[in-house]
Amino acid sequence: MSSLLIERPLPHGGRLVERVIEDKRVARKIWKSCNAVYEIKPTLHYETGVPVRNVYREIMSICYGFFSPVEGSMKQAEVERVLKERRLLNEWIFPYPLIFDISKDDLNKLGVEVGDRLGLTLKGKPFAILDIEEIYEIDPEELAYKTFGDPETNPEVVQQKFDKKHPGWVIYRSHQPYVLAGKYTIINPPKLKPPFDRFWFPPRKSREEFEKRGWRTVINHQTRNVPHVGHEFLMKCAAFTGDVEPCHGILVNAVIGVKRRGDYPDEAIVEAHEAVNKYGYIKPERHLVSIVLWDMRYGNPLESLLHGIIRQNMGCTHHMFGRDHAAVGEYYDKFATQILWTKGIPSFGFPAPPTDVPYGLKIRPQNMREFSYCPTCKEMAYSETCGHKREKLSGSFLRGMVAEGVQPPSIIMRPEVYKVVVKWWKHFGYPFCNEKYVINKEKELEVDLEDL
Amino acid sequence: MAYFMVVLLDDSRMEKIKGTGLEEHIKYMFGGELRLLEVEVNEDLKNKILAEFETARVDSRGAITDVPVAFMRELFNQVVEKKSLGPEVVEGVLAKVGEIKEMAAKESEYLPPPEIEV
C-alpha cells in the first residue's frame, strides 16, 4: 500500500468505549442490584425554566462511544483538568466537563453514597446505571465561566466575557450543584424514533458502514442546519481533499438536541440533508446522513475539538471546519476554530494543533471559507478562488425568505430540500423551532424505551 | 458598517410598487431569479431593532434578519407608503412596534405553510 494513502484512524483514546448491555436477562439482574432509582429530568434554564439540556443525550453519546474515551460522569479532579488543560486524567484531550448533576434535595432523597449503584430511568422506564465513584459539589456559575474561557485568560481567541445570551454558558450555569461521578452503562437501549432511526450510526456501526461501502477516506460535514446550495458545494469541494484521490465518502453528522428559537426542526434538518443524496445532488453512494445526540454548547474552537473527537470515533479521516464554526455571537474570534487546528491555542492547553500534541487527534482538519453565488461565473463560487463580486448566501436571509412564504430560487436552495422544510412546517405548524417545539421535543425526546 | 433590510418582491408586490419610482432600485440576485429592494438602516435604528426583537440578527453582509414576519410585511407597506428606501421607512415600522409585537406573538405559534405539494 502506498505510503501516501491515509488509513481510517483508531478511535480517540485507542479503543471505542461501548457500555451498552443488549441482553435483557443480564440487564434485569443489574437493574435489581441498584441501590436507588432516579428519573432523568431535563436541565431547565436557571432563570426562565425552559429546557436547555437533557443529560440522557450525554449518556447515549458516551455509552455508544461517540465521546470515547470518556466513560461516564467526570470526577472533580478530571473536571478541573479539563477546564485547565482540556485533557482527561488519562491524558487524552477533551474539551468540556461532562457531569451528572443533581439538586441537594434529590441527593438527600436518594441517600446514595460512593460505591452505590444508581438506576436511571427515562420516560419512566429503566434506561441506564451510574456506578458512583465520587460525590462532590460545584458552583455552576464558576463552571460556566471556566468552561468557555474569558478575554483575560484566553486572549488569543476570546473577545468577550460570556453571559446569559450564550446558550452553552446557560447550560452550565443551569447545572444543579451536586455531581455524582462514575461510569454509565445503558441497560435498556432506547429505540430511536422516526425519522431519526434511519440516521442512527453510532461509531461501531458507522465504521462498519464505511467498510461496507469501501470508504477508506471520509470527510465529515458538521450541521445544525437545513442545507442550502452553499453547504452542498462546501461538501462537494471539501471532499476533493483526501490522499491520492478525493475522499471516498462525505458523512453529514447532524447534532440533535435542544434547539435555539429560529433554528430548523431536527426532523427537517436530517431529511433535508437526505434529500441532497436522494435526488442526486451528491450520489447516495458517496454521501451518508447521520446524527449524534448532544445539546450544543456553541463553544467554537472547543466545540470543534469535540466534533473532531466524535467524527474520528465514527471513523472519519477528515473534518471540514468553516468560519464561525459552532459559534453564537461574537464571543470568539471568527476564525478561532481554524486557529486551533492550524496553530493551536496555548491558553486552552494547545501550544500546537490538536493533531500535533501528545494524546491528540488523528482526524485531519479541512479549513474552508465560504461559497456564494457569482453572477459573472453564473455558479456557486469559492470565496478564495473567484475574483468577481459575489452574492453572499446567508442562512438568516434564507430563513426570512422561507418565513415570508417565498420559495428560494433553486440556485440557493434545492426544491426538494424546500419541500422537506414545508413538509415539517405543515406537521408542526411552523417552519422553525419555537417555544412549543422545544418544550414538546424535550417531553417526547428522540427515543422511546421498552419495558425491561 | 452599513446596515440594510431586504424586501423581497413577488409578482403581487411588484404590482404595488408600480409608479412609485422605486422600480429603478430593484436589485436582482442569484442570476436574476430573485428581485428585491434594500432599505437603509442606520446604526441607531439597527440598535433599536435588535433591542425590540430578540430573534433579530445582523448577518455577515450587514443585513438585519430574523425579525417577525409582521415586521417584514409592515416594512413593505412603509416602502409603498413613503415611496422611499431611506431610514424613514424603518422609523415608520418602529412607530408601530406595539402592534407588530402583538401580531408577532401570534405568529410565533403558527405560520400558515405555503400550499405546495410535499
In this predicted model, what pLDDT tens digit does every residue of A7-16 receive, in sequence order?
A: 999 999 999 9
pLDDT of A102 > 90? The answer is yes
Scan residues 235-264 of A and list those with Cβ closer than 8 Å to B. Answer: 261-262
Please give the residue that has the higher pLDDT: either A325 or A1: A325
Q: In whole angstroms, give the CA distance from residue A365 to residue B29.
A: 33
Average pLDDT over residues A247-264: 93
A313: left (phi over 0), alpha (psi -120 to 50) or beta: alpha
Of the candidates B72, B111, B116, the beta carbon closest to that of A400 is on: B72
pLDDT band at A418 (very low <50, low <70, confident <90, very high): very high
Residue A18 in domain: no
Q: Look up the CATH number of the domain holding residue A252.
A: 3.40.50.620
Residue keyed to cell 434529500: A275
Average pLDDT over residues A243-252: 97
Weakly modelled stretches of chain B, pLDDT under 70: none
Question: B111 vs A412: CB contact, 8 Å cut-off?
Answer: no
Residue A155 in domain: yes
Q: Are residues A185 and A213 part of one domain?
A: no
What pLDDT does B109 receive?
86
Residue A8 in domain: no
Q: Are residues A333 and A185 part of one domain?
A: no
Q: Are residues A362 and A266 part of one domain?
A: yes
Residue keyed to cell 443524496: A277
A358 touches chain B (CB under 8 A): no
Nearest CA in chain B to A372: B30
Of the candidates B55, B61, B72, the beta carbon closest to that of A394 is on: B61
Q: Are residues A162 and A222 part of one domain?
A: no
Residue A4 in domain: no
Of the candidates A394, A410, A434, the beta carbon closest to that of B108 is on: A434
Average pLDDT over residues A235-246: 95
Q: In whole angstroms, give the CA distance from residue A172 to residue A154.
A: 19
Residue B99, class by beta-carbon neighbours within 10 Å (0-12 exposed, 13-18 middle, 19+ buried)? exposed
Question: B30 vs A409: CB contact, 8 Å cut-off?
Answer: yes
**Residue B70: its chain A contacts at CB < 8 A?**
none
Question: B33 vs A409: CB contact, 8 Å cut-off?
Answer: yes
What pLDDT does A406 receive?
83
Cα angle A392, A394, A400 (rounded to 5 degrees) comes to 130
What pLDDT does A217 receive?
98
Q: Are residues A222 and A129 part of one domain?
A: no
Q: Which of these, A40, A56, A169, A59, lies nearest to A110 by C-alpha position?
A: A40
pLDDT band at A123 (very low <50, low <70, confident <90, very high): very high
**For residue range A26-72, what is the model confidence (pLDDT) as tens digits?**
999 999 999 999 999 999 999 999 999 999 999 999 999 999 999 99
Average pLDDT over chain A, rounded to an integer: 96
Question: B57 vs A426: CB contact, 8 Å cut-off?
Answer: no
Q: In whole angstroms, give the CA distance from residue A257 to residue A222.
A: 14
Q: In whole angstroms, give the CA distance from residue A70 to residue A62.
A: 6
Question: A411 vs B33: CB contact, 8 Å cut-off?
Answer: yes
Residue A15 in domain: no
Question: B114 vs A405: CB contact, 8 Å cut-off?
Answer: yes
**Residue B59: its chain A contacts at CB < 8 A?**
394-397
Q: Give the start-to-end residue ranges of the domains of chain B.
A: 3-107
Residue A412 in domain: yes
| Full residue range of the structural domain in which residue A244 is found | 196-444
pLDDT band at A218 (very low <50, low <70, confident <90, very high): very high
Give the count of domains, chain A: 2
Given A138, A169, A191, which residue is the final one in a domain? A191
**Residue B114: its chain A contacts at CB < 8 A?**
405, 407, 422
Q: Are residues A204 and A186 part of one domain?
A: no
Q: Are residues A277 and A393 part of one domain?
A: yes
pLDDT band at A229 (very low <50, low <70, confident <90, very high): very high
Q: Are residues A132 and A63 part of one domain?
A: yes
Question: A422 vs B116: CB contact, 8 Å cut-off?
Answer: yes
**Residue B103: its chain A contacts at CB < 8 A?**
none
Q: Are residues A297 and A259 part of one domain?
A: yes
Residue A7 in domain: no
What pLDDT does B105 receive?
86
Question: How far is B21 from chain A, CA to nearest CA, in Å?
Answer: 24
Q: Which of these, A259, A337, A341, lies nearest to A300 by C-alpha position?
A: A337
ipTM of this complex: 0.81
Q: Are residues A209 and A183 part of one domain?
A: no
Could you tell me what percent of chain A has a pLDDT over 70?
Answer: 100
**Residue A373: its chain B contacts at CB < 8 A?**
29-31
Residue A3 in domain: no
Average pLDDT over residues A305-315: 98
What pLDDT does B112 receive?
85
Cα angle B7, B9, B12 (rounded to 5 degrees) comes to 130
A99 near A138, Cβ under 8 Å?
yes
Which grid cell is A64? 455508544
Question: A429 vs B57: CB contact, 8 Å cut-off?
Answer: no
Q: Are residues A392 and A282 part of one domain?
A: yes
Q: In whole angstroms, give the CA distance from residue A356 to residue A362.
A: 9
**For residue range A129-140, what is the model confidence (pLDDT) as tens digits?**
999 999 999 999
Residue B69, class by beta-carbon neighbours within 10 Å (0-12 exposed, 13-18 middle, 19+ buried)? middle
A3 touches chain B (CB under 8 A): no
Average pLDDT over residues A336-354: 97
Q: Look up the CATH number of the domain holding residue A105.
A: 3.10.400.10
Of the candidates B61, B66, B111, the beta carbon closest to that of A262 is on: B66
**Residue A399: its chain B contacts at CB < 8 A?**
65-66
Query: Coil, strand or helix: which one is A132?
Result: strand
Average pLDDT over residues A228-240: 95
Q: Are residues A127 and A36 part of one domain?
A: yes
Question: A419 vs B110: CB contact, 8 Å cut-off?
Answer: no
What pLDDT does A364 receive?
98
